[in-house]
A and B are shown apart, each in its own frame.
Chain A
Amino acid sequence: MAGRMDAPPTKVVRLVQLGQWDAAMRVESIWQCVSCQTCSARCPKLVDCAGVMDALRQLAFERGAASPAGRAVMVFQRAFLENIRRYGRLNEIDLIARFKGEVFLKSRSLAFLFRDAGLAGQLHKRRKLHLTGEKVRDRAVVERIFERAGAGGAA
């Protein structure tokens, strides 16, 4: 992944070592990171780079300091969590609608809105499109878990 990154993991970790949290939080790389864990598995100094990325994403999220590209990822992940908070399980159609809708409101990109739209038919053909997602029975407890974990309204 490092090839696509604006700052390689070494630079991100360096900023953290120097305590430059603000700079570290604004780096695009933390949103490009796919959490593949390769860096953590191979670091000779036992630095959990993937964990550092997680921590920075969380920090950026809490302080609203994400980079522009980061915001798209964050929008998706927030939509994901919101989805879980509501239904207890992922409702794919709801997630996609919410994510696309929110990005569209910001970017006004129709291309983005309809990209992958063709897949819907394909999925439907393969009985993979589930318009009504699953819900857990005890949704109230999920709501309470989110509340107690400090992710109530924020997600």
Chain B
Amino acid sequence: MNFGYYPGCALHGSSDDYEQSIRACLGALGIKLEEIDDWICCGATAAHSLNHKLAIALPARNLALAQRQGCAEMLAPCPMCSGQLLRAGQALASDAALRSEISSIVEAEVNDGPRVLNIIQVFERVGLKALSDAVTKPLKDLKPACYYGCLLVRPPAVVGFDDAEQPQSMEAVVAALGAKPVDWNYKTECCGAGMTMASPETVLELSGKILANAAAHGANCLVAACPMCHVNLDMKQAAIQEYSGARYDLPVYYLTDVVGMALGLSASELGADRHFVLAREA
């Protein structure tokens, strides 16, 4: 199984543990990733906040590059990137004039770009049955709170993935690994997202509520699929605990970490040893 691969800046920056995890995990499943050559940043929040045209042009350039590379399906593990790519793709598909304008802006013809997939969709392609068959170390003791955050499921009209209010797809994946996902209430609440730098208190408050709810529902870890969420919940966890006065010490895994662990990969192979909050005894 081959997919085009758009890592996005975070996975080549301070969240490169996520990329390590993805490559190790998907490699173990025999999935090849073909990185889009000379990809550029999707523009993220800054572009859609400050310049609408740029917010379409930057992802459009990447879609065009992927197309040029002949890729039909492309994994964009960061939900911010995949959201921007999907949004731009939809805007371009429905508006011929915009398509020609953007094509000349980005110096590349944008037509039917590749199908953009998030990491959960890649596991769905593998098939939950096949995934479960590949498990060598069932995660019997893992009680994860699967955390979707905002952009995996919202806005539903753009991402068209799972159920925006009561998603279950990540639970289905971790259940296939033998883990027992908890039923909890904050799986689609916002962690504070890109406010990490600009408005730290926002993050401390919002992410604090998420950790508190996961702990209250008996989770012994969180599973996320977004580098930004991971930063806020993992790196900021100490600050959150200081801010709220509560202790959680909840490891925050990427979805590929837990899949990889079930496939028998070690924490260091997956880069899970590079997280801030580590499992007490793994």
Chain A residues at the B interface, C-beta cutoff of 8 Å: 1, 4, 32, 34-38, 40-41, 48, 50, 54-55, 57-58, 61, 72-74, 76-78, 80-81, 84, 88-90, 92, 96, 99, 115-116, 119, 122-123, 126-130, 133-134, 136-138, 141-142, 144-146, 148-151, 155
- Determine if A84 and B41 form an interchain contact, defined as CB atoms under 8 angstroms apart: yes
User: Contacts A126-B274, A136-B40 hold; do A58 and B52 have CB atoms under 8 A apart?
Assistant: yes
Q: How many residues of B contact A (CB 8 A)?
A: 55
A84 to chain B, nearest CB (A): 5
Residues of B within 8 A of A89 (CB): 9, 12, 39-41
Residue B44 is within 8 A (CB to CB) of chain A in the complex: yes
**Of the candidates B15, B49, B202, which one forms a contact with A32 in the assembled complex, judged by CB atoms under 8 Å apart?**
B202
User: Is B57 in contact with A145, judged by CB distance below 8 angstroms?
Assistant: yes
Determine the distance from Cα of A123 to Cα of B188 in the docked complex, in whole angstroms: 27
Which of B41, B105, B200 counts the most A-chain CB atoms under 10 A from its CB?
B41
**Between-chain CB contacts (< 8 Å), 20 pairs:** A34-B190, A37-B154, A38-B154, A50-B155, A57-B50, A73-B198, A76-B198, A77-B46, A77-B50, A78-B46, A80-B46, A81-B50, A92-B14, A122-B276, A126-B275, A128-B16, A141-B61, A149-B54, A149-B105, A150-B53
List B contacts of A148 (CB < 8 A).
Answer: 57, 104-105
A contacts with B: majority SS:
helix
Contact B14 A130 (CB under 8 A): yes
CB-defined contacts of A78 to chain B, threshold 8 Å: 46, 50
A38:B58 contact, CB within 8 angstroms: no
Residues from chain A with a CB closer than 8 A to the CB of B197 are: 76, 96, 99, 116
Min Cβ gap A107→B in Å is 13
User: Which chain A residue has the least Cβ–Cβ distance from B101?
Assistant: A148
Q: Report A-chain residues with C-beta under 8 Å of the C-beta of B52.
A: 54-55, 58
- Candidate in B58, B194, B198 with the most chain A CB atoms within 10 angstroms: B198
Is residue B43 contacting chain A, with contact meaning CB distance below 8 A? Answer: yes
- Complex CA–CA separation, A96 to B51 (angstroms): 21
Whether A151 contacts B51 by the Cβ 8 Å rule is yes
In the bound complex, do residue A77 and residue B276 qualify as a contact, i.e. CB atoms below 8 Å apart? no
B17 touches A126 (CB 8 A): yes
**Interface residue? B32 (CB, 8 A):** no
Given contacts A74-B50, A128-B16, 5 further A-B contacts (CB under 8 A): A73-B198, A89-B12, A134-B13, A136-B39, A146-B54
Q: Provide the residues of chain B in CB contact with A150, threshold 8 Å.
A: 51, 53
**Would you list which residues of chain B between 151 and 194 have a CB under 8 Å from chain A?**
151, 154-156, 164-165, 188, 190, 192-194
- Within 8 Å by CB of A149, from B38, B53, B155, B192, lies B53
CB-CB under 8 A from A61, the residues of chain B are: 49-51
Q: Cα distance A40–B151 when bound, in Å?
A: 12
Q: Is A54 in contact with B48, judged by CB distance below 8 angstroms?
A: yes
Which residues of A have CB within 8 Å of B51? 58, 61, 81, 149-151, 155
Closest to B156 in A: A41
Choose from A4, A40, A90, A96 the contact partner of B154 (Cβ within 8 Å).
Answer: A40
Bound-state Cα–Cα, A72 to B197, Å: 10
Query: Contact check: which of B12, B58, B151 meets A84 at CB < 8 Å?
Result: B58
